[in-house]
């Protein structure tokens, strides 16, 4: 069930917000601590959905600054007016007395951490004899969320529980899977009643919160940072399109937490992962199987969990090769010989020698391309060239070689530094195929320059969409809705 807190500071504003919230919420939380002189009678008369009346004191993270007996007095008034629920802090439950037909939610909030003794806190809450308990903590690390999930799985009592804060957002999305009774969403950005609260629009339209249940499979992006990622839009949109009971979330995991996080993955809390910086290499040690090309590349961007056995592969590699293949096929037109293996024998210059360059170099090498690498740090370029079995040249030699296909794998030209180009335009020639793996902006400075010279250009969106589509297929065993994914990324 979804609950939207009303946080207006006036009675009129709260009535307006209640009406708006009632369109989306199963329950509306009336935060009377936000209202100057709340008129409970009018507020409750105007409700169209069940309400939780909450009057949180400042010491517990709320806005109420009056004296304690007046604070409790307002809650008793809500009870006498027939409010469906009141939220009462665990240390004040005994002050309430007879609650009549109103149901009590005994709550515990910790704005600093997710304490070690979660189970003790929960059992103390249960003992208070309320109708439901609410145990809300602050996530300082990603594993705090999974401790909440463990608590929910074994709680055996109606419980609302999740973590606050940016790191706790996944618990807001996933708590219904583990039996959490209520999810809180803000009406709009800026209307949050607690840190990390997602908007109703995000919860409903991106994460399809109404459909998250015990059978929902959990996928997500493992990385740091992850906030910029379009992954949740692409994968959740594709799950919806295909009618798959799954949700994709963002797991922000720093280096020190990777071991703890992967332990929860292995236990089955997560069914599959996309992997990005900085974990593409470090995740390998947690895998039971790794596919041969990902092993060669030394980087994994996809992990699938089958009954606790983790398999890794690299979809960046086939995505780049396929995108380039298709472009070369279009150019080749009707020449059947070229159509079979358009990359074979082509002279390909790869700029860069990082993780993406590795994936593309090994992939194109398998297809018989004649590869040259140029990297800012020449020693790194030379090391990759040695592994792949190709040559490496300095930036000062770029004008001296024949190039059919140029691939930029560096971040030069990426938003916000969109005026940058990894090479000067003297390297670009008519008919040259120029592939930039950057997808923001869709047409980089390099691609603009290449077009001006009469080159054929390929932007990073195509590779990005294809690597996500291949992941989707590994996650679900179903064909990816490629066109929808393309539209989602471009939009
Ligand atoms: P990714 O996994 O996205 O490939 P990476 O492993 O950090 O990221 O690699 C980034 C690549 O971009 C490297 O080849 C890097 O060159 P160095 O090896 O010299 O660091 C290259 N790169 C990044 N910024 C660059 C810049 N301003 N000019 C030229 N090359 C750059």
3-state helix/strand/coil string of 61-83: CCCECCCHHHHHHHHHHHHHCCC
> Is residue 335 located within the same domain as residue 449?
yes
- From the number of C-beta atoms within 10 Å of its C-beta (0-12, 13-18, 19+), residue 477 rates as exposed
Tokens of 156: 């055996």
- Ligand 1 within 6 A of CB of 353: yes
Say how many Å lie between the CA of residue 378 and the centre of ligand 1: 11
Answer for the pair 310, 265: CB distance below 8 angstroms, yes or no.
Answer: yes
- The number of folded domains in the chain is 3
Question: If you count DSSP H runs as helices and E runs as strands, how many of each does the chain have, helices first?
Answer: 18, 20
d(CA 462, CA 480): 14
Cis peptide before 347 (omega within 30 of 0): no
- Specify if 272 maps to a domain: yes
- Specify if 231 maps to a domain: no
Say how many Å lie between the CA of residue 354 and the centre of ligand 1: 6
Choose one of 281, 356, 376, 446 to mutate for the ligand 1 pocket test, by most ligand atoms within 8 angstroms of C-beta: 376
- Ligand 1 within 6 A of CB of 311: no
> Is residue 126 located within the same domain as residue 65?
yes
> Is residue 304 located within the same domain as residue 359?
no
CATH number, domain containing residue 278: 3.40.50.10860
Tokens of 456: 């054929």
- Whole-number pLDDT of residue 277: 87
Instruction: Say what the pTM is.
Output: 0.92
- Specify if 230 maps to a domain: no
Sorted by sequence, the CB contacts under 8 Å of residue 197 that are 6+ apart come out as 5, 164, 172, 184, 185, 186
Q: What range defines the domain where residue 273 resides?
A: 236-314+477-490
Each residue's pLDDT expressed in tens, for the chain with a length of 491 residues: 999 999 999 999 999 999 999 999 999 999 999 999 999 999 999 999 999 999 999 988 899 999 999 999 999 999 999 999 999 999 999 999 999 999 999 999 999 999 999 999 999 999 999 999 999 999 999 999 999 999 999 999 999 999 999 999 999 999 999 999 999 999 999 988 889 999 999 999 999 999 999 999 999 999 999 988 899 999 999 999 999 999 999 999 999 999 999 999 999 999 999 999 899 999 999 999 999 999 999 999 999 999 999 999 999 999 999 999 999 999 887 555 555 689 999 999 999 999 899 999 999 999 999 999 999 999 999 999 999 999 999 999 999 999 999 999 999 999 999 999 999 999 999 999 999 999 989 999 999 999 999 999 999 999 999 999 999 999 999 999 999 999 999 87
- Ligand 1 within 6 A of CB of 421: no
> Is residue 86 located within the same domain as residue 162?
yes
> Is residue 290 located within the same domain as residue 406?
no
Q: Which of 134, 191, 235, 279 is catalytic?
A: 134
- Whole-number pLDDT of residue 228: 85
> Is residue 31 located within the same domain as residue 53?
yes
Instruction: Give the pLDDT confidence of 118-150 residue by residue, as tens digits.
Output: 999 999 999 999 999 999 999 999 999 999 999
Q: Which residues pair with 31 in a beta bridge?
A: 54
d(CA 412, CA 397): 19
Residue whose Cα lies nearest atom 3 of ligand 1: it is 356
> Is residue 175 located within the same domain as residue 257?
no
> Is residue 28 located within the same domain as residue 100?
yes
Sequence-ordered strand ranges (E) for 67-165: 85-89, 103-109, 132-138, 159-164
Element (H, E) at 457: strand 456-458
- Specify if 223 maps to a domain: no
> Is residue 355 located within the same domain as residue 408?
yes
- Ligand 1 within 6 A of CB of 299: no
- Ligand 1 within 6 A of CB of 377: yes
Sorted by sequence, the CB contacts under 8 Å of residue 228 that are 6+ apart come out as none
Chain-centroid distance, C-alpha 449: 34
> Is residue 165 located within the same domain as residue 196?
yes
- Specify if 221 maps to a domain: no
> Is residue 70 located within the same domain as residue 162?
yes
Instruction: Give the pLDDT confidence of 55-81 residue by residue, as tens digits.
Output: 999 988 899 999 999 999 999 999 999
- Specify if 120 maps to a domain: yes
Q: Which of 294, 306, 302 is nearest to 266 (CA)?
A: 306
- Specify if 219 maps to a domain: no
Answer for the pair 402, 414: CB distance below 8 angstroms, yes or no.
Answer: no
- Whole-number pLDDT of residue 297: 94
> At which of 182, 214, 246 does a domain end?
214
Angle, CA of 6, 175 and 161, to the nearest 5°? 65
CATH number, domain containing residue 178: 3.20.20.70
- Specify if 176 maps to a domain: yes
- Whole-number pLDDT of residue 59: 87
CATH number, domain containing residue 347: 3.40.50.720
Q: Which of 109, 177, 181, 445 is catalytic?
A: 109
> Is residue 266 located within the same domain as residue 158?
no
């Amino acid at each position: 069930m979804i609950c939207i807190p009303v946080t207006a500071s006036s009675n009129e504003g709260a009535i307006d917000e209640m009406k708006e919230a009632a369109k989306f919420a199963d329950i509306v939380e009336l935060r009377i601590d936000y209202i100057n002189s709340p008129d409970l009678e009018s507020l409750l008369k105007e409700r169209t959905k069940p309400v939780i009346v909450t009057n949180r004191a400042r010491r517990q993270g709320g806005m109420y600054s009056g004296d304690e007996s007046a604070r409790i007095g307002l809650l008793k008034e809500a009870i006498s007016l027939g409010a469906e629920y009141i939220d009462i802090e665990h240390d004040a439950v005994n002050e309430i007395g007879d609650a009549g037909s109103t149901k009590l939610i005994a709550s515990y909030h910790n704005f600093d951490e997710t304490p070690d003794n979660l189970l003790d806190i929960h059992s103390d809450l249960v003992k208070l004899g309320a109708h439901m308990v609410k145990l809300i903590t602050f996530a300082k690390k990603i594993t705090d969320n999974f401790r909440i999930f463990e608590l929910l799985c074994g709680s055996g009592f109606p419980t609302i529980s999740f973590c606050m804060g940016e790191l706790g957002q996944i618990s807001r999305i996933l708590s219904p899977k583990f039996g959490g009774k209520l999810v809180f969403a803000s009406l709009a950005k800026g209307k949050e009643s607690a840190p990390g609260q997602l908007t109703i629009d995000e919860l409903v339209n991106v994460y399809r919160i109404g459909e998250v249940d015990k059978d929902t499979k959990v996928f997500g992006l493992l990385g740091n940072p992850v906030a910029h990622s379009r992954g949740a839009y692409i994968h959740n949109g594709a799950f919806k399109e295909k009618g798959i009971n799954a949700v994709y979330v963002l797991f922000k995991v720093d280096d020190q937490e990777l071991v703890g996080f992967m332990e929860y993955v292995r236990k089955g809390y997560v069914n599959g992962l996309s992997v990005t910086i900085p974990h593409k290499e470090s995740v390998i040690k947690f895998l039971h199987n790794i596919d041969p090309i990902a092993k060669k590349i030394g980087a994994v961007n996809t992990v699938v969990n089958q009954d606790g056995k983790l398999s890794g592969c690299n979809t960046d590699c086939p995505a780049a090769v396929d995108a380039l293949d298709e472009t070369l096929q279009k150019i080749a037109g009707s020449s059947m010989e070229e159509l079979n293996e358009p990359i074979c024998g082509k002279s390909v210059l790869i700029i860069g020698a990082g993780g993406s360059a590795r994936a593309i170099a090994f992939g194109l090498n398998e297809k018989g391309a004649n590869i040259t690498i140029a990297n800012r740090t020449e020693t790194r370029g030379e090391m990759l060239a040695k592994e792949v079995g190709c040559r490496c040249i300095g930036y000062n030699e770029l004008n001296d070689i024949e190039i059919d296909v140029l691939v930029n794998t560096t971040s030069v030209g990426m938003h916000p530094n969109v005026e940058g180009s990894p090479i000067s335009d003297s390297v670009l020639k008519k008919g040259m195929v120029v592939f930039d793996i950057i997808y923001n902006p869709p047409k980089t400075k390099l691609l603009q320059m290449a077009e001006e010279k009469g080159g054929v250009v390929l932007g990073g969106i195509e590779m990005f969409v294809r690597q996500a589509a291949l992941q989707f297929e590994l996650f679900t065993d179903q064909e990816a809705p490629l066109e929808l994914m393309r539209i989602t990324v471009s939009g």
